[in-house]
Homo-oligomer: A and B are copies of this chain.
Amino acid sequence: MAEQFEIIKKALNKMLDEKKYAALRDILVVMYPSDIVELFRDVDTDRIPLLFRLLPKELAAETFVEMETEDQELLIRSFSDNELKEIVDELYVDDAADLVEEMPANVVKRILKQADPEMRRSINQILRYPENSAGSLMTTEYVSLRPDMTVEEAILRIRRQGVDKETIYTCYVTGKDRTLLGMVTVKDLLLEQDDERRIGDIMLTNLIFVNTQTDQEEVAKMLAKYSFIALPVVDGEGRMVGIVTFDDAMEVIEDETSEDIALMGGVMPSEKTYLRSTVWDLFKNRIPWLLLLMVSATFTGMIITGFEDSLAAQVALTAFIPMLMGTGGNSGSQSSVTVIRALSLDELKFSDIGRVLWKELRTSVLCGVVLAAVCFVKIWLIDRLAMGNYDITWQMDLVVCLTLAVTVVCAKLVGCSLPMVAKVCKLDPAVMASPFITTIVDALSLVVYFLFARAVLGV
C-alpha cells in the first residue's frame, strides 16, 4: 500500500510539472481526503492552492477539514471570497466551528462573512461552550424524528433531509421543545417489517447521553465503551442540541493519549506534529521539566555531601550509586506507568488504593528479593572476582543488596500511589510518571544506602 502511494505521488508531481491539469484532476477525484492531504505534504507549499482548485467542491471541503491549521490558513488567504464561500457552505458545522476557533481574527472575520446566517448562528452556539466540552465537540446537524411518525414517514424524512447530516444512521426522537425522548437506528427502521408502526413504539428509551458541559475525554470514552456511532448531547433542560460522532471520539482519544505519553516522558503536550514543531516549540515544551528536575536534584547532592565522610572512608561505595538509583527509578516507573494507564482506562478508581498498595507491596518484595539475590552474586563474581576489586567485602556487598531490596519496595509504593493521589487532587496522573518519581526515588535510595552503610560498615 505504502509503496503504491509513493508511485502515485511521483506520477502526480510529474503531471504538475508538465501542467497536465485535466489528467491530474482525474486522479485526484478518486482519491480519499486523507490521502490528498498526505500528498500535499510533499508538494511545494505554493503549489497547494493550484492543486486544491482542481478538486470538486465536496471533496475539496472534506480535504480542507483534514489539513493542518497552518495549511488551512495559507489556503484561505489564497482564496477569493467566492471560493471561500463555496468551501464554507460545504463544511459541517462542527468543523466550521473548529476552523473559526483556530484561525487568526482577520481570517475569522472573512469566514463568518461568507457563512450563511444559519451556519453563523450554529458556529456561535458551539463556540459558546467551554473548550474540550461535549458542546464544543458536537455538530448540530443530526436527524430528528417525532414519536408519532410512522416508520415509513421516518424513512422518507431521512431520505429528504439526510444529505447535510453528518450521520443518518442514528436518529433521535424529540418531543416538544426538542426534549430528547428516544433513539432509533436506521437498522431498526429498515428491519421493521410493519411500515405503519409508530416511531414512539420502536424507539429505544434507555438512552445514553451527555451534557454540553461534559468533558470531551469522557464523551470519547463513552462512545468507545458502548461502540456507538454517535452520542446525543443535551443542554441543562434535557433539550437535544447536537451529536458527537465516533470519528471525532477516536481523534479525542488519540490526542489525550498523546498528551499522557508526553507528560509521562516529562514533555509539555503540544498539538503540533513532531515535524511541524519548530526547535523553539520543542525547547519550550521540554525545558520546564528539565530545569525543575535539575534543581530538585540539589537534594540528592546534599545527601551525598552529608555522607561525604562515609564515601571518603569507602570509595568503592560510590561505584554502586548509579545502579541503585537506576534500579530504584526503573522499579518506580514500572509501577507508575502501569497505574497511570489503568487510571486512564478507568480500570482503577481512587477507592482501589488499598488493593493497589497491597498488590504492589507483594510484587515489590518479590522483585526486591530476586534482584538483591542476583545482585549479591553478581557483585561477588563480577565486580570482586572477575574485575579484581578486592576492596569489596561481603559486608559491603550486603549493604548494596539490602539497599537494593528496600529501594525497590519504596519505589514501587511511591510509584503506584502518587498517580492515584494526583487523580484525587484533579491533577493529570501522567504528571506523576518516571521523571518525577525518579527524582524522589533517587533521594530515597541514597538515604537508605548511607544508613545501611553506617549501620553495617560503621563508616
The 8 A CB mask of A338-353 against B (1 = contact, 0 = none) is 1111100101100010
CB contacts (< 8 Å) of A71 on chain B: these are: none
Q: Which residues of B contact A290 (CB under 8 A)?
A: 327, 330-331, 334, 367, 371, 408
Contacts of A348 in B (CB 8 A): 274-275
B-contacting 9-mer, from A45-53, A81-89, A99-107, A262-270:
A262-270
CB nearest to A209 among chain B residues: B1
Q: Is the Cβ of A337 less than 8 Å from the Cβ of B370?
A: no
By a CB distance below 8 angstroms, the chain B residues around A191 are 159, 162-163
Query: Which chain B positions have C-beta within 8 A of A382?
Result: 298
| Segment 354-382 of A: residues with Cβ below 8 Å from B | 355-356, 359-360, 362-363, 366-367, 370-371, 374-375, 378, 382
Q: Does A124 make an interface contact (CB < 8 A)?
A: no
- Please tell me if A286 contacts chain B, counting CB pairs below 8 Å: yes
- Complex interface bits, A302-338 against B, C-beta within 8 A gives 1, otherwise 0: 1011001001100110111111011101110110111
Kindly state the separation between the CA atoms of A187 and B185 in the bound complex, as whole angstroms: 12
* A254: Cβ under 8 A from any B Cβ: yes
The proximity string for A residues 25-62 relative to B, scoring 1 for CB distances below 8 Å and 0 otherwise, is 00000111010000000000000000000000000000
Question: Would B378 and A295 count as touching, CB distance under 8 A?
Answer: yes
Contact B438 A329, beta carbon cutoff 8 Å: yes
Query: Given the complex, which residues of B lie within 8 Å of A305, measured CB to CB?
Result: 316, 319, 383, 387, 389
Question: Is A452's CB within 8 Å of the partner chain B?
Answer: no
Residue A112 at the chain B interface, CB threshold 8 Å = no
Interface membership of A22, Cβ < 8 A: no
Task: Tell whether, in the assembled complex, residue A206 and residue B31 are in contact, meaning their CB atoms are under 8 Å apart.
Answer: yes
A21 at interface (Cβ–Cβ under 8 A)?
no
Q: Does A11 contact B (CB under 8 A)?
A: no
Residues facing B in A262-310 (CB within 8 A) are 262, 264-267, 273-275, 277, 279-280, 282-283, 286-287, 289-291, 293-295, 297-298, 300-302, 304-305, 308
Complex CA distance for A356 and B283, rounded to whole angstroms? 14
Please, which residue of chain B has its CB at the minimum distance from the CB of A260? B261
Q: Does A74 contact B (CB under 8 A)?
A: no
Q: Are B315 and A297 in contact (CB under 8 A)?
A: no
On whether the beta carbons of A319 and B304 are closer than 8 Å, the reply is yes
With A298-B383, A301-B322 as known contacts, state yes or no: A250 contacts B279, CB within 8 Å.
no
The answer, yes or no, to whether A451 is at the interface (CB within 8 Å) is no
Q: How far is the CB of A431 from chain B (nearest CB, A)?
A: 14
- Residues of chain B lying within 8 A (CB to CB) of residue A246: 246, 250
Q: Are A34 and B226 in contact (CB under 8 A)?
A: yes
Please, how many angstroms separate the alpha-carbon atoms of A311 and B312 in the complex?
9
Q: Is A393 at the interface (CB under 8 A from chain B)?
A: no
Contact present for A371 and B250 (CB under 8 Å): no
**12 A–B contacts, CB within 8 A, in A order:** A30-B205, A246-B250, A250-B250, A261-B264, A265-B334, A265-B338, A282-B338, A290-B330, A297-B326, A304-B318, A311-B318, A321-B322
Starting from the known contacts A158-B190, A305-B316, 5 additional A-B residue pairs (CB-CB under 8 Å) come to A34-B225, A169-B187, A224-B250, A265-B333, A311-B315
